[in-house]
Structure 1
Amino acid sequence: MSYIHGYDPDTLREIVDLEECRERLEEIGAQRSLPALLERVWLLKVLDRLDEALVVSDQSVRVARMGGTRKDLLRARILHATVLQNRGAFAAALQELTACAEEAEGQRWSGIAAFAYQHRGKTSYDGEDYESARTDFKRALFLRQDAGATDEQLEATLLAIDAADRRRARTTVAS
């Protein structure tokens, strides 16, 4: 079940039903499996409980490093970086997302690489570097197409490209 009902066309943040997310977070409780930890991180992030999200994301990276696959570890690190992004730690998020994107591309894991580039683009977007954001969104689009992504994933990336173009145009006009 997807809790994402769309994306804000200006901020690019997920549109979610907050009550639905709170209920799911309560259902998960203190489960310690990697999938449960990753879901908790995401739910805490979209509920704007960023301090808790950071603690749980650190834990998820440790669990993935100790008992998961390399793909699991990349997913946990990317999610951790999105928490850093939401906390405004753009440089740290960009560094982590760059490392994850490069490793995923090196392994030819297009879906994971696209996930990393999409979030690196969002981080650049939040940091008002719209040119870099657009470049990353375009890369994510190519990789998602290569990986056979769903229409929803492709639409989210196209929305992000459009948003970066609009912001870039506004910035250029304002200069």
Structure 2
Amino acid sequence: MSYIHGYDPVTLREVVNSRECRERLDELGDQRSLPALLERVWLLKVLDRLDDALDIADQTVRTARMAGTRKDLLRARILHATVLQFRGSLAAATQELTTCALEAEGAGWASIAAFAYQHRGKVQYDAGDFDAARADFKRALFARQSTATPDDQLESTLLAIDAAERRRAEAGAAVAS
């Protein structure tokens, strides 16, 4: 079941039903499997419980490092970076996402690289660097088009490109006046 009901066209954040997310979080309880930890981090993040999300994200990265694959570790690190982003640590999030994107590209994992670029674009977007955000969203789109990416992920990337272009145009108009 997807808990994402769309994306805010201004902030690019996930639109979720908080009640559904809280119920799922309760269902997960204290499960310690890597998939459960990843899901808990995401749920805590979208519920704006960022201190808890960061604690579990740190635990998730350690678990992936000890018991997961390289892909698992990249996914955990990307999710960790998104928590940093939501907490306002944009430079740290950018650095982590850059490292993850380059590692994924080097290994030939286009879907993970796309995931990292998409989120790095969101960090750039939050920082007000709409040119860099647009470039990252385009990189994510090209990577996603090279794989069997679900339509909802392609749509979220296209929405992000449009938002970055719109915000770039608005910023340009504000400077010109």
The alignment's TM-score, normalised by the length of structure 2, stands at: 0.98
Q: Distance in 1 between matches of 2:59 and 2:29?
A: 15
Aligned pairs (5 A) from 1:49-64: 49-64=49-64
Determine the C-alpha separation between the residues in 1 that align with 2:119 and 2:54. Answer: 16
Counterpart of 2:34 in structure 1: which amino acid?
A: L
Q: Deviations over 1:87-128 (max 9, x none)?
A: 000000000000000000001100000000000000000010
**CA-atom RMSD in angstroms:** 0.4
SS at match of 1:147: coil
Q: Deviations over 1:28-83 (max 9, x none)?
A: 00000000000000000000000000000000000000010000000000000000
1:120 corresponds to: 120
**Partner residue of 2:35?**
35
SS at match of 1:2: coil
User: One-letter code of the match for 1:97?
Assistant: L
1:148 corresponds in structure 2 to 148
Distance in 1 separating the partners of 2:5 and 2:111: 21
Determine whether 1:79 maps to 2:73.
no
Match of 1:164 in 2: 164
Aligned length: 175
What displacement does 1:14 show?
0.3
Structure 2 unaligned blocks of 5 or more? none
Unmatched 5+ residue regions in structure 1?
Answer: none
1:130 Cα offset (Å): 0.3
3-state SS in 2 of match to 1:6: strand
Secondary structure in 1 matching 2:146: helix
TM-score by length of 1: 0.99
> Whole-Å Cα distance in 1 between the matches of residues 152 and 115 of structure 2?
13
Output the CA distance in 2 between the equivalents of 1:19 and 1:82: 22
- Tell me how far 1:147 sits from its aligned partner: 1.3
Q: Distance in 2 between matches of 1:147 and 1:115?
A: 12
The equivalent residue for 1:24 is 24
